[in-house]
Amino acid sequence: MNFPETFAWGAAAASYQIEGAAFEDGKGLSVWDVVCRRPGKIWSGNTGDVGCDHYHNYEEDVRLMKEIGLRAYRLSISWPRVIPGGVGAVNPKGLAFYDRLVDKLLENHISPWITLFHWDYPQALYLKGGWLNRDSADWFADYAAVIVDALSDRVSRWMPQNEPQCFIGMGHHTGEIAPCLTLSDAEALVAAHHSLLAHGKAVQMIRAQARIRPFIGCAPVGNVCIPETKDPGGIEAARKEMFSCNKRGFWSNTWFADPLFLGKYPEDGLDVFGSDMPFVPDGDMEIIRQPLDFFGVNIYGGRVVRATDDGGIVEVPPQDGPPLTATLWNVVPEALYWGPRFFYERYGLPIVITENGMAGCDWIHVDGCVHDPQRIDFMSRYLDQYRRAITDGVKAEGYFVWSIMDNFEWMQGFKCRFGIIHVDYATKKRVLKDSALWYRAVIASNGACIPKVEMHSGNNM
Ligand code: GCO
């Protein structure tokens, strides 16, 4: 079986990572503008102040998307660019940028898929307590209303938030990303709950106000478990591990997805957090569980696990010298089989891979091209597995490669290059990498040109 004829072949990016213009045309501060100015926080002192400067180069960028033949582009909106104070007055120049960008995409027959929040939280609201303040859910819904009012006559695909596991877990619990807070479990649980409430209120707002039929989903981290053995017991062990929430922390799939799709927190998570759980007012879980149209998920890799004789589950370490990307992430193509399969089984909605890709050690070669064979092989193997999941019954609606262009990789600054388009940050020159040209052929053939990897033929990773 091949990919569906209407499959959304896309690429993704995020406002703070590519736009630049951080202090231009009335944009307000985000927590990333502030954290980037804290000495030693970001690799080599990089900031998103200018970076790819997509804000001034969006027409060239959309032209390149068209050249690649993208059917869809996943962008995020900078909340403080549109509402500088986070609430209240709208910045017309900020809104006008997205209005122009959406029109340019549609002019080139590229469907805009919008993420409302991809981590660049308004600093002004952070100073009012941010996600710790229960009002944050209404602040977010009011922001959603502004975007829906401006763009929903042309935009139909929506994801309220990107990766709460990161912006809550890493941003508010471990402190690894902006706003770099190390709150107690109890406080981080409050922030997590408010972010879920915000998701629900934003979905209600989109459903109520969208001017064309909205298709709404999510974009969490996808923590995939892969069965070492493919017998029923091995598969059940991987499924159980993937949907367990038995550690204090926020990296879980179910802590954020079960409330959205099942209307309740996972029991094992409630047990492990115990008395640290916040008070949940009546009605909250009903607000959080709004009907959604797709299960979008960001998948890069996975853990191989096996069941032990005593009923436990252990992780199987990768073989010595595993294939690694430039960020030292393992290359695990089967993650794009088992992830879509297990998520589809649990939540029952069509799957969209809202992010998948790799960082490479890419540069412009002497011939003026950017040869990135690793990325082509990576994407080819992952997409072959995704196709296998579709063949085995998973309903899938799209794939967004991360990323359309090299960009600001958060605390790693510009060290890592994830794009299928190379960006020279000094000159802003864009060069399509070989992977972009390869992806063009994939899209043109609707995936038919991707070779089928015979499993266990010795060339599996
Ligand atoms: C994420 C974010 C992206 C990252 C990408 C590479 O998943 O962490 O959505 O903004 O840049 O995934 O790490």
Distance from the Cα of residue 454 to its chain's centroid: 29
DSSP H helices in 348-433: 373-391
Mean pLDDT of 343-364: 98
The pLDDT of residue 454 is: 81
The β-bridge relationship of strands 8-12 and 396-402 is: parallel
Whole-number average pLDDT of the chain: 97
Q: Are strands 430-432 and 421-423 parallel, antiparallel or unpaired?
A: antiparallel
Q: How far apart are CA 159 and CA 337, in angstroms?
A: 23
Kindly report whether the peptide bond that precedes residue 112 is cis, defined as omega within 30 degrees of 0: no
pLDDT in tens, 366-400: 999 999 999 999 999 999 999 999 999 999 999 99
Dihedral class, residue 292 (left if φ above 0, else alpha if ψ from -120 to 50, else beta): beta
The average pLDDT across 215-224 equals 98
Alpha carbon of 118 to ligand 1 centroid (Å): 9
Task: Write the pLDDT tens digit of every residue in 222-231.
Answer: 999 999 999 9
- Decide: 441 and 450 in contact? Cβ < 8 Å: no
d(CA 394, CA 274): 35
Question: Residue 103 — pLDDT band, cuts 50, 70, 90?
Answer: very high
Residue 407 pLDDT > 70: yes
Interval 66-84 mean pLDDT: 99
3-class DSSP string for 144-197: HHHHHHHHCCCCCEEEEEECHHHHHHHHHHCCCCCCCCCCCHHHHHHHHHHHHH
Whether residue 163 lies in the annotated active site: yes
> For a substitution probing ligand 1, which of 402, 416, 420 has the most ligand atoms within 8 Å of its CB?
402
Sheet with 313-316: strands ordered across: 224-227, 302-307, 313-316
Q: How far is the CA of 31 from the centre of ligand 1 (A)?
A: 17
3-state secondary structure 78-91: CHHHHCCCCCCCCC
Q: Say whether pLDDT at 122 is over 90.
A: yes
Q: Which atom of ligand 1 is nearest to the CA of 219?
A: 9
Query: Which percentage of the chain shows pLDDT scores above 70?
Result: 99
**pLDDT tens digits, 256-279:** 999 999 999 999 999 999 999 999
Where does the pLDDT of residue 175 fall: very low under 50, low under 70, confident under 90, or very high at 90 and above?
Answer: very high
Which pLDDT band, with edges at 50, 70 and 90, does 311 fall under? Answer: confident
The Cα–Cα gap between 169 and 189 comes to 9
* Pocket perturbation via mutation, ligand 1, pick of 355, 401, 412 by most ligand atoms within 8 A of CB: 355
Q: How far apart are CA 250 and CA 437, in angstroms?
A: 38
Distance CA 180, CA 191 (A): 13
Asked whether residue 457 carries a pLDDT value surpassing 80, the answer given is no
Strand partners, 246: none
Would the pLDDT of 456 be above 70? Answer: no
For residue 317, pLDDT beyond 60 = yes
* Ligand 1 contact via 258 beta carbon (within 6 Å): no
Q: What angle do CA 61, 67, 72 make, to 5 degrees?
A: 70
Q: Is 355 in the pocket of ligand 1 (CB under 6 A)?
A: yes
Task: Select which of 19, 241, 355, 409 is catalytic.
Answer: 355
Catalytic member of 163, 241, 334, 409:
163
Q: What is the pTM of this model?
A: 0.98
The Cα diameter of the chain in Å comes to 64
pLDDT level of residue 1 (50, 70, 90 thresholds)? confident
Mean pLDDT of 235-249: 96
| Per-residue model confidence (pLDDT) at position 411 | 98
Pocket test for ligand 1, best of 16, 76, 163 (most atoms within 8 A of CB): 163
